[in-house]
């Protein structure tokens, strides 16, 4: 199935794929390089994205012909899909091809909305190859309600991305100035709630990164874990106790029982780390990374604006080698406390895997939490 994903873009990860990713046994403000926009392909730089708004159509073919100006001559060639969506390549008279996903159910439109806006946010950085989104919306045809669709550029995806180039492009994306007005004004989050795998991921705009990560990442997952039968995890690491509220004015910040000094290290400028806001893919694992026409390409995102280090919470499932990290850290150097913060970012994704797949991920969650609590 992974091989098929490399041949065609855009199928959401299925539970068996993610289950195969079994685990083993604020950063200092950075200058945004003026050459970031030159990293992406010339084709992508020339294609300026327009604001995306959900639309309606009786069929995918009708939407393509109405909005993209050419008659559909063929639909097919992909087959399969994920547990909740199906994928099709549509060809039009002028030879262009579009990759289309469709899904049924009340959750289909919100999920495609999050995917479309996430892809566009990354595309607008002009740093790494991202499939261009042409549109998304609801299908109103007979027998189709409730169902939704998303129409994207059909990329020629083959093979693995060059590790060094992937590292450079990802760092440049993380440093790109956000196009979103709220993110550019210093808020973490995203315009819509989206999903991480099949799990709802809340993204309310929040001025403080530590608060955002505590409440809307770890806290959210721990609450979901409790509902899914994991009361023992929630009790082991309670989030909402008054003494664990984050301290302000540069003091040690505690994000629940495991966070103590991990998010605050001194620097010479302000006395504490500043969490620079950047656009994150949000779910970087081997199934969502490939090469398109020789360029590094990422897709199937769980995008939000956050601390760049949080991007690597799925690194255990992405086979990122020394060449990747060397180039990435040439552009964004490691800051003091990176290893401890990395444990927190790993924990978010392990908790999500516990919520999605159950007890096989419990050991990793408990191990990380206990190691962080021991440092208090």
Cα–Cα distance list, 35 to 38, 39, 147, 306, 311 (Å): 6, 7, 42, 22, 22
Helix (H) or strand (E) holding 97: strand 97-104
Find all residues with CB under 8 Å of 374, minimum gap 6, and list them.
none
Asked if 221 and 242 count as a contact pair (C-beta separation under 8 A), the reply is no
Any idea how long the chain is? 376
Give the sign of the dihedral formed by CA 72, CA 52, CA 59, CA 152.
Answer: positive
Q: How many CA atoms lie within 13 A of 62 on its CB side?
A: 11
Cα–Cα distance list, 42 to 39, 268, 298 (Å): 9, 40, 17
Residue 344 dihedral angles phi and psi, to the nearest 5°: -65, -40
Asked if 260 and 268 count as a contact pair (C-beta separation under 8 A), the reply is no
- Burial of residue 81 (number of CB atoms within 10 Å: 0-12, 13-18, 19+): middle
Q: What DSSP string runs through 214-236? A: IIIIIHHHHHHHHHTT-HHHHHH
Query: Is 283 among the catalytic positions?
Result: yes
CA distance 268 to 127: 30
CA-nearest of 232, 254, 230 to 242 is: 254
Reading the block at residue 236, the tokens are 């082991």
Catalytic residue of the set 124, 140, 180, 283? 283
- Catalytic positions are 283
């Amino acid at each position: 199935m992974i091989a098929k994903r490399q041949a065609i873009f855009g199928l959401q990860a299925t539970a068996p794929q993610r289950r195969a990713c079994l685990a083993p046994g604020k950063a200092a403000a950075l200058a945004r390089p003026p050459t970031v926009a030159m990293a992406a392909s010339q084709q992508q730089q020339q294609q300026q994205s327009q604001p995306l708004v959900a639309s309606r159509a009786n069929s995918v073919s009708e939407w393509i012909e109405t909005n993209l100006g050419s008659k559909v001559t063929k639909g097919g060639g992909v087959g399969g899909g994920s547990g909740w969506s199906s994928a099709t390549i549509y060809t039009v008279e002028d030879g262009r091809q579009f990759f289309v996903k469709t899904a049924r159910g009340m959750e289909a439109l919100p999920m495609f909305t999050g995917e479309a806006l996430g892809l566009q946010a990354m595309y607008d950085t002009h740093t790494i190859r991202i499939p261009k989104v042409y549109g998304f919306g609801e299908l109103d045809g007979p027998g189709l309600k409730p169902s939704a669709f998303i129409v994207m550029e059909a990329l020629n995806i083959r093979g693995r991305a060059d590790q060094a180039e992937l590292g450079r492009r990802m760092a440049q994306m993380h440093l790109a100035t956000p196009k979103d007005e709220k993110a550019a004004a210093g808020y973490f989050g995203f315009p819509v709630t989206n999903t991480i795998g099949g799990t709802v991921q809340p993204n309310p705009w929040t001025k403080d990164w530590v608060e955002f990560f505590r409440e809307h990442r770890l806290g959210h997952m721990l609450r979901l874990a409790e509902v899914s039968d994991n009361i023992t995890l929630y009790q082991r690491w309670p989030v909402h106790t008054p003494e664990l509220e984050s301290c302000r004015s540069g003091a040690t910040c505690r994000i629940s029982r495991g966070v103590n000094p991990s998010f605050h290290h001194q620097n010479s400028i302000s006395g504490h780390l500043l969490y620079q806001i950047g656009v994150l893919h949000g779910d970087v694992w081997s199934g969502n990374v490939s090469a398109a026409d020789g360029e590094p390409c990422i897709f199937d995102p769980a995008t939000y604006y956050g601390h760049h280090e949080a991007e690597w919470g799925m690194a255990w499932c992405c086979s990122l080698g020394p060449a990747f990290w060397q180039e990435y850290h040439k552009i964004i150097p490691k800051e003091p406390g990176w290893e401890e913060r990395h444990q927190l970012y790993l924990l978010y994704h392990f908790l999500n895997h516990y919520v999605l797949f159950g007890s096989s991920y419990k050991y990793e969650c408990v191990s990380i939490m206990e190691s962080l609590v021991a440092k208090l």
